[in-house]
Amino acid sequence: MIISLSGAPGSGKSTVAQLLAEKLGWQRYYMGRIWREMASKHGVDVMAYSKLNEGSPDKDKEVDEYQRELGKKEDNFVIEGRTSWHFIPHSFKMFLDVSPEEGAKRIFGALQHSNTRNEGNNLSTWQDVLASNKERVNSDNGRYLKYYGIDVTDMKNFDYYLDTTNLTPSQVFDEVYAKVQEMLDNKKI
């Protein structure tokens, strides 16, 4: 079983993916980390790197081909990425949602504890994070539509949807894990 996890910024994707992989004893792949590493190698932050790639699909396709190959070669892993469901179509596709405001507040709170995701951006308020998220999501969604003809916000693409806006991290994990366990017990995947 391969679980692809996508969702809105601040919805809890990374936390759930990490906890789920640990609980199942599976490998976790995080496409955001790969994208950040690529941006860092080019000496820019993620937003600038996304903007640089709006005119050319080469870097996106590099990450996307990596995902496609993982889906062919491996099994029993969790992959977190906005397009993972598309490149691993036989995965169990999960989408975590959150209101844009709550997502921005969560990310801003995390930035207050660790500056690793700020990446040189001037994100001094949750409203700055909200604006940055909106810009990045628009850039990403535009590229995916242009390059692949896919809408990553269309819930018809997913097997499972959960709005995390009013849930704690442990409640989100419990709900996601219960669904995964149900799928494993019923061997539907």
Q: What is the pLDDT of residues 85-122, one digit of tens each?
A: 999 999 999 999 999 999 999 999 988 887 555 455 57
Domains observed in the chain: 2-181 (3.40.50.300)
Helix and strand numbers (H, E) in the chain are 8, 5
What is the C-alpha separation between 8 and 164, in angstroms, rounded? 10
**What is the pLDDT at residue 46?**
67
**What is the pLDDT at residue 118?**
46
Query: Tens digits of per-residue pLDDT, 11-48?
Result: 999 999 999 999 999 999 998 777 677 777 778 776 67
Residue with the two structure tokens 């005119």: 55
The average confidence (pLDDT) of the chain is: 88
Q: Nearest Cα to 12, choosing from 171, 140, 183?
A: 171
Q: How far is CA 94 from CA 108, 164, 172, 174, in A?
A: 24, 12, 12, 14
Query: Tens digits of per-residue pLDDT, 121-140?
Result: 578 899 999 999 999 899 88
Place 187 in a pLDDT band, splitting at 50, 70 and 90: confident
**What is the pLDDT at residue 116?**
53
Which residue type sits at 43?
G
What is the C-alpha separation between 117 and 95, in angstroms, rounded? 22
SS3 92: strand
Q: How far is CA 173 from CA 11, 30, 90, 104, in A?
A: 11, 17, 22, 20
pTM for the whole structure: 0.84
Place 189 in a pLDDT band, splitting at 50, 70 and 90: low
**What is the pLDDT at residue 113?**
81
Q: For the residues 54-59, what does the mean pLDDT come to?
A: 67
